């Protein structure tokens, strides 16, 4: 292959991107696919913030992402060069991030909220997948994740949802929905539904690339 096949996975908070990716990656070996996540390219700000500043800070804006570094790493992988990147610790100043080594593979998956908004990244994508869920379902998933897994208060989660998450989704992701090759509606809580979709896409890719 002259260059890897680049697949973009975009979706708002609570749409089910993480579960979709987990299912999709199970169809390939580590030598066949690699994953680059937009989350690992946030500019580091957590260490200088109070709890209240953290609540008010809007992480759902494109300029919170070091997109130059993001783009450069994607280009390196497309040139069959490995990259190293510090893990994003979800704004937890007490967590010690790992150094991640991402090796190139025939399939590169790029995922994140703004990957379609960043024009240079969007133009590299050979397949664009848009994952969406109804607002009430997405919010319940966000609440479950942030309250249980990340220890945020209900008020903090709702503040960010209303003031940051929803406006960002409408401005920086939703306008690109019609440009995508696949739109997957993920309102169900049945794992089999997403598993079937990932099986179909992975089968098509395997036939095309291998």
Residue 210 lies in a domain: no
pLDDT at 91 over 80: no
Q: Where residue 196 sits, what CATH number does that domain have?
A: 3.40.50.300
Asked whether the CA dihedral 56, 186, 25, 103 is positive or negative, the reply is negative
C-alpha to C-alpha distance for 185 and 76, rounded to whole angstroms: 32
C-alpha to C-alpha distance for 64 and 62, rounded to whole angstroms: 5
C-alpha to C-alpha distance for 103 and 180, rounded to whole angstroms: 26
Q: How many domains does the chain have?
A: 1
- Please give the mean pLDDT across all residues of the chain: 91
- Residue 16 sits in which domain range? 5-204
Strand, helix or coil at 131?
A: strand
User: What does the DSSP assignment read for 180-206?
Assistant: -SEEEE-----HHHHHHHHHHHHHHHH
Only one residue has tokens 């946030």, namely: 42
140-159: pLDDT as tens digits: 999 998 887 777 889 999 99
Residue 28 lies in a domain: yes
Could you tell me if 36 and 77 are in contact, meaning their C-beta atoms sit under 8 angstroms apart?
Answer: yes
Residue range 23-48: mean pLDDT, rounded: 89
pLDDT at 54 over 80: no
Residue 146, burial from CB neighbour count under 10 angstroms (0-12, 13-18, 19+): buried
């Amino acid at each position: 292959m002259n260059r890897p096949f680049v697949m973009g996975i975009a979706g708002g908070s609570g749409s089910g991107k993480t579960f979709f990716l987990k299912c999709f990656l199970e169809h390939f070996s580590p030598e066949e696919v690699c994953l680059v996540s937009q989350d690992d390219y946030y500019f580091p700000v957590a260490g200088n913030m109070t709890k209240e500043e953290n609540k008010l800070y809007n992480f759902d804006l494109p300029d919170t992402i070091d997109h130059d570094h993001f783009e450069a790493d994607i280009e390196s992988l497309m040139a069959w060069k490995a990259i190293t990147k510090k893990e994003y610790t979800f704004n937890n100043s007490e967590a010690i991030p790992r150094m991640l080594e991402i090796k190139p593979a025939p399939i590169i998956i790029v995922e994140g909220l703004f990957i379609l908004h960043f024009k240079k990244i969007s133009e590299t994508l050979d397949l664009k997948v848009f994952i969406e869920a109804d607002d009430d379902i997405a919010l319940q998933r966000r609440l479950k994740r942030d309250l249980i897994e990340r220890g945020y208060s209900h008020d903090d989660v709702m503040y960010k949802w209303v003031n940051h998450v929803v406006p960002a989704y409408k401005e920086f992701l939703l306008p690109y929905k019609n440009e995508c090759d696949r739109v997957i509606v993920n309102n169900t809580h049945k794992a089999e539904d997403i598993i079937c979709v990932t099986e179909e896409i992975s089968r098509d890719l395997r036939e095309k690339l291998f």
